[in-house]
Structure 1
């Protein structure tokens, strides 16, 4: 088995609730990153030319979505990790009370 370089990416020891929380946090991070990329692209000063039409914009959107998903899944920015750590205390308290 290959051990992840980032221990945050190891999901084997997680409870189902914690795994669900991690996926939700990564999804939220992907949404945030997508919005950041979209905002950065909107600030572009490029002129509209035949090569920068709707087709290119659609592919840029798809690329931004893909980059955001990869970055969120890798933990590169750490937003998901912070969100998960903040919300995990509620799962841990619930499991301790059971």
Structure 2
């Protein structure tokens, strides 16, 4: 039995959209990692002592930095994800 395809179904197009979404998610993930590393490098370059520094505050600061990086990427961040998508969208 041969499956029928109605005009509203296009299996090739749905796979392409899925690949485009995967590409977008991967690009945003890459940008989030980049932003996390950038924030970590800025924190490491402090010019003085932290008055309230301890292991607990360092752990929560890292979690906060990760959340900030994720929020930046979700709000178009630095534009790295957009550049990656535009570069790779024709190759998938």
* TM-score band, normalised by shorter chain: 0.7 to 0.9
What's the TM-score, normalizing by structure 2?
Answer: 0.78
Q: What whole-Å deviation, never above 9, does each CA across 1:17-60 have from its counterpart, x for those lacking one?
A: 000000000000000000000000000023154x2111111111
Distance in 2 separating the partners of 1:61 and 1:22: 25
Aligned CA-pair RMSD: 1.4
Corresponding pairs, count = 77
> Counterpart in 2 of 1:76?
77
> Counterpart in 1 of 2:8?
none
> Counterpart in 1 of 2:37?
35
Distance in 2 separating the partners of 1:23 and 1:84: 10
Q: Please tell me whether Structure 1 or Structure 2 has the larger radius of gyration of its CA atoms.
A: 2
User: 2:77 aligns to what SS in structure 1?
Assistant: coil
Where structure 2 has 5 or more consecutive residues not aligned to the other structure, the ranges are 1-15
Superposed, 1:1-98 pairs within 5 Å as 15-49=17-51, 51-91=52-92
Where structure 1 has 5 or more consecutive residues not aligned to the other structure, the ranges are 1-13, 92-98
Runs of 4+ residues over 2 Å off in structure 1: none
What's the TM-score, normalizing by structure 1?
Answer: 0.73
Q: What whole-Å deviation, never above 9, does each CA across 1:39-95 have from its counterpart, x for those lacking one?
A: 00000023154x21111111110011001111112213101000111111102xxxx
Distance in 1 separating the partners of 2:28 and 2:37: 14
